[in-house]
Amino acid sequence: MSKIAHIIALRSAPIAMSIGLGFGIRPFDEAADAAVFDNHNVWVGPRGHLDKKGEEDTDFVQPIPYIVVRDGDKLLSYIRGSDGGESRLHNNSSVGIGGHVDAMDAIYNKDGMIDLRKTLSVSAIREICEELGIDLPDDVLEQHPDLLEWTSLIQSQAKPVDSVHIGLVCEIDLKILRSFAPEFNFETAIANAEYLTPAELIERDARQGDERVEMETWTGLVVNQMLQPEPA
């Protein structure tokens, strides 16, 4: 995506007042849903401006659908290649499919406001198709109404690239995608795709020197959360 392309952003202040910022990862519960999907907080602007402004102040965060593809206890993992749009994440290990929500993804409600919930769904499906190199039918969400069920919300202040984004995590069963596309034709930004368990991803990240495969912040949050025991 071009740095001058218009993308969707959210005003940070209402989110901060409702659920806070810099919390790392949290369940996508009713409070998170209400904080994120408030159409009154939606803004549109050039990506480059929002990136720069977000690192200088905290007026806006950019929502990112972060789609995790599961095959049993393993996750689709890859190395972010140099063709990826966010240079600060290159060479990091990731389990997330997704990207910025383009202005062209926008779905409007009857009042002429951007319907963020529907817009995020459009963006997520587009990103899945682009990054995995597959075609999903227009009615995929009618066939699988629970396909895009947001399970977690991410907002980290660990690095500048993290601070300007807010991630909506969704897990999709590989079998569902395979029912539409037997093989993936990954875009060039995805390198060395393989299926690994959360423990294997953490072990690679803990290695020393050239053997280390560093996880991006969001992937680290997701896989560590998966290894936490279920609440009693």
What pLDDT band is residue 84 in, cutting at 50, 70 and 90? very low
User: Is the predicted pLDDT of residue 59 greater than 70, yes or no?
Assistant: yes
The C-alpha atoms of residue 95 and residue 69 are separated, in whole angstroms, by 8
pLDDT greater than 80 at residue 143: yes
Is residue 31 within 8 A of residue 136, CB to CB? The reply is: no
- In this predicted structure, the answer to whether residue 232 has a pLDDT above a threshold of 80 is no
What span, in angstroms and rounded, lies between the C-alpha atoms of 206 and 173? 27
CA distance 123 to 59: 23
Query: Quick one: pLDDT at residue 4?
Result: 72
| The pLDDT of residue 18 is above 50 | yes
The residue extents of the domains of the chain are 6-226
Close Cβ partners of 33 (under 8 Å, ≥ 6 residues apart): 150
| pLDDT tens, position by position, 87-101 | 455 688 999 999 999
CA distances in angstroms from 198 to 17, 73, 84, 149, 178, listed in the order given: 33, 8, 23, 20, 22
pLDDT tens-place string over residues 148-201: 999 999 999 998 888 999 999 999 999 999 999 999 999 888 878 999 999 999
Among 39-43, 161-165, 228-232, the range with the most confident prediction by mean pLDDT is 39-43
Residue 49 has pLDDT above 80, yes or no: no
Helix, coil or strand: residue 140:
helix
| Percent of the chain scoring above 90 in pLDDT | 76
Can you name the CATH fold of 6-226? Nucleoside Triphosphate Pyrophosphohydrolase (3.90.79)
